[in-house]
């Protein structure tokens, strides 16, 4: 079964480390997402698993079989790794019909026509493109092209499916639909899916595991929940979440956090009593509230902007040099320029070491 192990994998381009000593275990049957900003090495990692890119150093095994080993320079070519790969561009062959595209992997394996037909029909039904057999890729909508690309990679029944930003070329509505479908597909087939994206929402909604990368380095591997609630460091905390997390530098000690310039002085909940010294407070917009009156959990500020967004309102409140993002439900009445109080739900706060950025509370 395809558990994928990457050990000490390095890929350099000249003197640039695209992937920097990566250790990763991708469990069998997982929906494993490599998440990170562009240029973080996620696509390179995926291509190294597929065999389209050769690591500079390291070891990769798929289901116990070594597919790459730099110590002896053993390489298993992509075609022998039994993987499917959905490209960001879909890479549909424009001169072939949908049927020819999907059946290509089978024709390479020289399957008899009958069997080929049956398999192609089945997979086309699975991704709901029955009837498009004779169309050419340019005659299809973006969503249909996406499905054809998926079908082509599913048809061989490979137990490992790799996807490189497959939804990034779809419009917003289709993307949401496809997310649900991919998740369903994963459940149905039980395949191991390795998914690359820079869209944190995509990662959060679909994955069983998320690995966050930046500049070739792995920052955290966790479940989506833990990535959101227990980010390993400031980078991860800032990268995930629909609205950016609020970060404020404070001094902690004696059960309090303080920032004199902001006239901020808040009591720490008991779970954070151990936090001490110069730290960075991270708090998500939904854990802040607009309060009418000052209290022991509030800080005074001025409303900078009010951005209604249907079900919710995004309010930006200026406190000293910080602009805090606050998410309130629809219907709240505040005016720009108005003085207000911001209520901090510190139970859900995260504390980072200001210098290293490391999450202190996760320890």
Partner 1 sequence: MEQTTVTLLRNQGSDTMGAPVAETQVHAPSLRVRVNKFADWIKTPHVMLSIILMLTLMYFVLSPFVQIVKTTFLTQRVDLRRIPGAREGDFTLFYWHRTIVSAMRKNLFFEPLRNTLVVTAGFTVLALTIGIVLSYLVARTDLPFKKFIASAAIVPYIIPSWPLALAWLTLTRSDAGSGGSPGMFQYLTGIALPEWVAYGPFPIIMLLSLKYYAYTYLLLSAAFSTLDSQLEESAVLHGANRLTIFRRIVLPIMIPALGSAFILTFSKGLGTFGIPSFLGVPRRYYTLSTILYSQMQNRRTAEGFIAAIAMVILALVLIYINSRIIGARKQFTTVSGKGTKRNLASLGKWRYPVAIAVIVFLLSASVLPMGLLLYQSLMARMGDYSLSNLTLHYWIGTDPTVREGHIGLLVNPRVWTAAKNTLMLGTLTGIGSALLGILLGYAISRGRGTKLALSLDQLSFLPFLIPDIAFGAIYLTMSARPMGPIPPLYGTFALLVLVSTVSRLPNATRSGTSSMMQVSMELEEAAYVHGSSWFNTFRRIMLPLTKNGFMAGFVLTFIGTMTALSLIILLYTPSTVILPVLTFEYANRELRQLSDGMSLLITLLVIVGTYVARKLTGTDLSQGFGGGN
Q: Which is nearer to partner 1, 205 or 361 (CB)?
A: 361
* Smallest distance, partner 1 to C-beta of residue 93, A: 6
Query: Rg of the chain over CA atoms, in angstroms?
Result: 25
Q: Does 109 bind partner 1 (CB under 8 A)?
A: yes
Q: Does 359 bind partner 1 (CB under 8 A)?
A: yes
Pick the binder of partner 1 from 29, 39, 76, 104 (CB under 8 A): 104
* Smallest distance, partner 1 to C-beta of residue 340, A: 36
Pick the binder of partner 1 from 233, 280, 298, 340 (CB under 8 A): 233
Q: Does 295 bind partner 1 (CB under 8 A)?
A: no
Q: How many residues bind partner 1 (CB under 8 A)?
A: 50
User: What is the bridge-based pairing of β-strands 350-353 and 277-283?
Assistant: antiparallel
Pick the binder of partner 1 from 5, 39, 87, 183 (CB under 8 A): 87
Q: Does 220 bind partner 1 (CB under 8 A)?
A: yes
Q: Does 20 bind partner 1 (CB under 8 A)?
A: yes
* Residues pairing with 279 in the sheet: 250, 353
SS3 (DSSP) at 127? coil
* Smallest distance, partner 1 to C-beta of residue 106, A: 8
Query: CA 279 to CA 256: how far, in whole Å?
Result: 12
Q: How many helices and strands (H and E) does the chain possess?
A: 8, 21
Query: CA 295 to CA 293: how far, in whole Å?
Result: 6
Q: Does 169 bind partner 1 (CB under 8 A)?
A: no
346 contacts 297 by C-beta, under 8 angstroms: yes
Q: Which is nearer to partner 1, 213 or 346 (CB)?
A: 213
Q: Does 274 bind partner 1 (CB under 8 A)?
A: no
Name every residue whose Cβ is closer than 8 Å to that of residue 27 and which is 6 or more positions away in sequence.
3, 192, 209
* Smallest distance, partner 1 to C-beta of residue 193, A: 15
* Smallest distance, partner 1 to C-beta of residue 21, A: 5
| Alpha-carbon separation of residue 139 from 18, 91, 174, 312 (angstroms) | 37, 15, 18, 40
Query: CA 253 to CA 264: how far, in whole Å?
Result: 14
Q: Does 224 bind partner 1 (CB under 8 A)?
A: no
Enumerate residues 21-80 that contact partner 1 by CB under 8 A.
21, 23, 50-52, 54, 57, 70-75, 77-80
268 contacts 302 by C-beta, under 8 angstroms: no
Name every residue whose Cβ is closer than 8 Å to that of residue 148 and which is 6 or more positions away in sequence.
90, 92, 98, 101, 102, 127, 129, 132, 137, 140
Residues that bind partner 1 (CB under 8 A): 8, 10, 20-21, 23, 50-52, 54, 57, 70-75, 77-80, 83-85, 87, 89, 91, 93-95, 104-105, 108-109, 152-153, 156, 217-222, 232-233, 235, 356-359, 362
């Amino acid at each position: 079964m395809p558990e994928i192990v990457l050990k000490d994998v390095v890929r350099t381009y000249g003197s640039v480390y695209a992937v920097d000593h990566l250790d990763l275990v991708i469990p069998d049957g997982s929906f494993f997402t490599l998440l990170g900003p562009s240029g973080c090495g996620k696509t390179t990692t995926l291509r190294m698993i597929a065999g389209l890119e050769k690591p500079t150093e390291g070891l990769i095994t798929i289901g116990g079989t070594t597919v790459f080993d730099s110590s002896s320079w053993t390489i298993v070519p992509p075609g022998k790794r039994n993987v499917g790969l959905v490209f960001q561009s879909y890479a549909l062959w424009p001169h072939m019909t949908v049927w020819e595209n999907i059946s290509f992997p089978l024709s390479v394996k020289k399957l008899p026509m009958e069997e080929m037909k049956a398999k192609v029909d089945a997979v086309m039904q699975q991704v709901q493109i029955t009837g498009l057999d004779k169309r050419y890729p340019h005659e299809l909508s973006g969503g249909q092209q996406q499905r054809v690309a998926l079908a082509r990679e599913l048809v061989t029944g490979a137990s490992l499916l790799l996807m490189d930003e497959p939804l990034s070329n779809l419009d917003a509505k289709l993307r949401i639909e496809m997310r649900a479908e991919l998740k369903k597909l994963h459940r149905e087939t039980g395949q191991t899916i390795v998914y690359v994206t820079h869209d944190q929402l995509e990662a959060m909604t679909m994955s069983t595991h998320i690995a966050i990368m930046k500049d070739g380095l792995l920052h955290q591997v966790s479940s989506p929940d833990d990535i959101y609630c227990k980010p390993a460091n400031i980078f991860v905390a800032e990268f995930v979440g629909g609205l950016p997390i609020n970060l404020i530098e404070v001094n902690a000690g004696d059960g309090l956090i303080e920032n004199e310039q902001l006239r901020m002085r808040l009591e720490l909940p008991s779970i954070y009593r151990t936090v001490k010294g110069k730290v960075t407070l991270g708090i998500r917009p939904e854990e802040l509230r607009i309060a009418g009156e000052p209290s022991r959990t509030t800080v005074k500020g001025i409303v900078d902007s009010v951005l209604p967004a249907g079900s919710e309102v995004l309010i930006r409140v200026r406190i000293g040099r910080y602009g805090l993002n606050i998410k309130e439900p629809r219907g709240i009445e505040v005016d720009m320029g108005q003085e207000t109080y911001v209520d901090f739900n510190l139970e859900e706060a995260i504390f980072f070491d200001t210098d290293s950025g490391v999450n202190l509370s996760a320890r």
